[in-house]
């Protein structure tokens, strides 16, 4: 008989445990990792890689259960579940942190603030992020990494070319107050809808449109229920890989280095994957022939910027002018002159 590793494990399992140390038989620490996207989206793939690496680097002392597609919790519920300790890992969009009582992350939704990779990376690498992290830590939430998923495009059931086209449209937004202000400034009616309910909301006309990254539009098949796509790059989708602080700090010392390594490598994988997947998704959506694409011209973009910059001023009331200026500086954003 060939003595395979599986056979060895089978025999080991059948051997009485007398004399073996407790540690050898302790149940693994379970990390439940809940998320709302497809296993094929960059976040879904990175979560699965994290599972594989975390289990390998901790020699099985940790077991990771990944729950994709809102199968365990939806947007708001998963944050509550993390705080309660019912789930240990999430990677939500940072535009959804408002319900935690942390409003500062909404600032990243200021229109056109981080539309290109350079500004987004500068922001995430800036020392200012330590202040943002502290806000989460005060709520019992520990950020382990940021995963930048690129710039948003709009989809809708009618073409969105000029700002006026949004007039009266019911637009789905994530939770952020800035996104609400953006929709209102465009003359649209904003509606917060959990990502897991979005396909149906678009299909049944509860909302007329939404904004997202192409890899989500592709993996959620929004092209089946939306006819038009505008490459507008007006905002950005950033995730934070977060855990429950008490859980994290209570981990045995021999487990943490393996998990740190798994976090670092899955973050690198996410960075290597996200941009590529967004480009590929646009091609894949185009190939279905189900959506009409429009890329904003320079003049159209100027009109969008002129329409939406007042949201920056309006939000000084919410965040303070100094705070917004500090974010401009950290990201390298220069407000366009009128
Ligand atoms: C959304 O809610 O539109 C997205 O942020 C979902 C996600 O996590 O990518």
pLDDT of residue 304: 98
33, 34, 35, 37, best to mutate for ligand 1 pocket (most atoms within 8 Å of CB): 37
pLDDT of residue 22: 39
Q: Tell the burial category of 25 from Cβ atoms under 10 Å away from its Cβ (0-12, 13-18, 19+).
A: exposed
Residue 195 CA to ligand 1 centre (angstroms): 6
Q: How far apart are CA 49 and CA 28, in angstroms?
A: 18
pLDDT of residue 210: 98
155, 212, 215, best to mutate for ligand 1 pocket (most atoms within 8 Å of CB): 212
Atom index in ligand 1 nearest the CA of residue 237 equals 5
User: What is the CA 203 to chain-centroid distance, rounded?
Assistant: 23
pLDDT of residue 16: 35
Atom index in ligand 1 nearest the CA of residue 216 equals 9
Tell me the pTM: 0.91
**Tokens standing for 230?**
């505008």
Task: Confirm if 153 and 230 have CB atoms less than 8 A apart.
Answer: yes
**10-residue averages of pLDDT along the chain (338 residues):** 35 35 71 98 98 98 98 96 97 97 97 91 96 97 97 98 98 97 98 98 98 98 98 97 98 97 98 97 98 98 97 98 98 86
| Minimum CA distance residue for ligand 1 atom 2 | 195
Q: How far apart are CA 72 and CA 53, in angstroms?
A: 22
pLDDT of residue 11: 33
pLDDT of residue 116: 86
Q: How many CB atoms lie within 10 A of CB 210?
A: 25
pLDDT of residue 277: 98
Q: Which of 117, 113, 186, 122 is nearest to 156 (CA)?
A: 186
- Between CA 65 and CA 68, with CA 67 as vertex, the angle to 5 degrees is 140
Show the ligand 1 pocket: residues with CB < 6 angstroms: 36-37, 93, 174, 195, 212, 216, 237
């Amino acid at each position: 008989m060939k003595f395979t590793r599986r056979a060895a494990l089978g025999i080991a399992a059948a051997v009485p445990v007398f004399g073996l140390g407790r540690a050898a038989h302790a149940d693994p620490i379970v990390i439940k990792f809940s998320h709302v996207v497809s296993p094929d989206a960059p976040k879904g793939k990175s979560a699965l890689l994290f599972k594989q690496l975390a289990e390998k680097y901790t020699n099985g002392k940790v077991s990771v259960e990944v729950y994709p597609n809102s199968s365990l919790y939806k947007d708001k519920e998963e944050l509550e579940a993390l705080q309660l300790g019912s789930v240990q890992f999430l990677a939500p969009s940072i535009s959804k942190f408002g319900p935690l009582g942390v409003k500062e992350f909404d600032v990243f939704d200021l229109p056109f603030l981080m539309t290109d990779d350079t500004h987004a990376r500068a922001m995430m690498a800036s020392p200012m992020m330590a202040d943002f992290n502290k806000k989460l830590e005060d709520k019992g939430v520990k950020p382990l990494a940021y995963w930048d998923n690129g710039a948003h495009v709009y989809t809708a059931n009618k073409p969105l070319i000029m700002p006026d086209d949004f007039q009266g449209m019911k637009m789905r937004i994530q939770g952020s107050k800035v996104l609400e202000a953006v929709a209102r400034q465009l003359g649209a009616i904003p509606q917060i809808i959990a990502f897991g309910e979005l396909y149906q909301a678009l299909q049944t006309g509860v909302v007329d449109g939404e904004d997202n990254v192409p890899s989500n539009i592709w993996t959620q098949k929004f092209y089946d229920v939306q006819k038009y796509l505008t490459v507008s790059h007006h905002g950005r989708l950033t995730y934070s890989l977060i855990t429950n602080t008490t859980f994290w700090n209570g981990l045995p010392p021999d487990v943490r280095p393996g998990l740190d390594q798994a976090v670092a490598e899955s973050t690198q994988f996410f960075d290597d994957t996200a941009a590529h997947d967004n480009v590929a998704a646009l091609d894949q959506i185009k190939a279905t022939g189900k959506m009409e694409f429009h890329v904003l011209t320079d003049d159209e973009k100027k009109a969008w910027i002129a329409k939406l910059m007042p949201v920056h001023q309006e939000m000084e009331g919410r965040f303070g002018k100094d705070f917004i200026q500090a974010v401009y500086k950290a990201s390298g954003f220069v407000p366009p002159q009128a």
